[in-house]
Amino acid sequence: MACKTTIGNITMGEGFPLVLIAGPCVIEDEDATLRIASFLKKLGENLGIGIIFKASFDKANRTSISSFRGPGLEEGLRILSRVKERVGLPLLSDIHEINQISPAAEVLDVLQIPAFLSRQTDLLVAAARSGRVVNVKKGQFLAPWDMANVVKKIEESGNDRILLTERGASFGYNNLVVDMRSLVIMRELGHPVVFDATHSVQLPGGAGTASAGQRQYVGALSRAAAAVGIDGLFWEVHENPDAARCDGPNSLPLDQLRPMLEQILAIDTLVRKESSSHD
């Protein structure tokens, strides 16, 4: 079973309720970022669920060179600092280069390794040595048991504060599929496991110069993952997904979050109750 990891005032892992990691794909502007974070905090308080706010200051792996990448490291971290000061949620964002780690670690609670970089040893080692929680997205090209090598790189660099995230596996061209067995397999590696439902319905490069997506399946996959047993759920959300500057087709509108979460939390409670009765 998964051990526990503490992030701010939230504990994830065995014996603890499901945590939601949510926010826009990329920081578009300060006001919208603060509004979404405030909405999520209130939602978490109403449902009694821990919330970690996520938003990227730079999306270095966009499909096209002309795609919007975000405000960049300095301005993005300034905006995320404002989220922490005004809203008070723990923060997660992607890092792509070693030189981003030190300034990012001063602001973020969780450093996220993007799926395409999940085997980059130097990046993993440097992130581990920051002392922050490290969330690694399982590469679309990796088997779940391959993540044992990723975990070893981080642990042997002196950090056991690790999250492992499933976000789908390549299934032919411009398509992903989720093998729910991967959640069980990665959980057996001894760290909390997160299911990234919104990236799992992404169609990489499916729109030619951008990725497409099928957000209508986010709820079904999220419920299935909760039934298997996960420690965290990862959703990209937006005030108006159809106008989002990144990952709009697989992002959820804010008004859909509460009813979807209520179903998932009911499943999570049942699964944890059943699991504890067998311990």
Q: What is the DSSP string of 183-196?
A: HHHHHTTTS-EEEE
Place of tokens 């951008």: 210
In 122-161, which positions are buried (b, 16+ CB within 10 angstroms) versus exposed (e)?
A: ebbbbbbebebbbbbbbbbebebeebeebbebbbebebeb
- Euclidean distance between CA atoms 38 and 167, whole angstroms: 26
Structure tokens given for 104:
């990012």
Q: What is the pLDDT of residue 76?
A: 98
By the 8 A CB rule, do 195 and 234 touch? yes
Residue ranges of the chain with per-residue pLDDT less than 70: 1-2, 276-279
Q: What is the pLDDT of residue 128?
A: 98
Q: What is the pLDDT of residue 196?
A: 97
- Euclidean distance between CA atoms 200 and 30, whole angstroms: 27
Q: What is the pLDDT of residue 3?
A: 86
Provide CB contacts within 8 A for 208, sequence distance 6+. Answer: none
Q: What is the pLDDT of residue 213?
A: 80
- Euclidean distance between CA atoms 279 and 275, whole angstroms: 7
Q: Which helix (H) or strand (E) holds 110?
A: strand 110-113
Q: Tens digit of pLDDT for each residue in 31-75?
A: 999 999 999 999 999 999 999 999 999 988 877 887 889 999 999
Q: What is the pLDDT of residue 1?
A: 41
Q: What are phi and psi of 161, to 5 degrees?
A: -95, 90
Q: Does the predicted TM-score (pTM) go above 0.85?
A: yes
Q: Tens digit of pLDDT for each residue in 235-248?
A: 999 999 999 888 88
Q: What is the pLDDT of residue 165?
A: 98
Q: What is the pLDDT of residue 278?
A: 66
By the 8 A CB rule, do 26 and 246 touch? yes
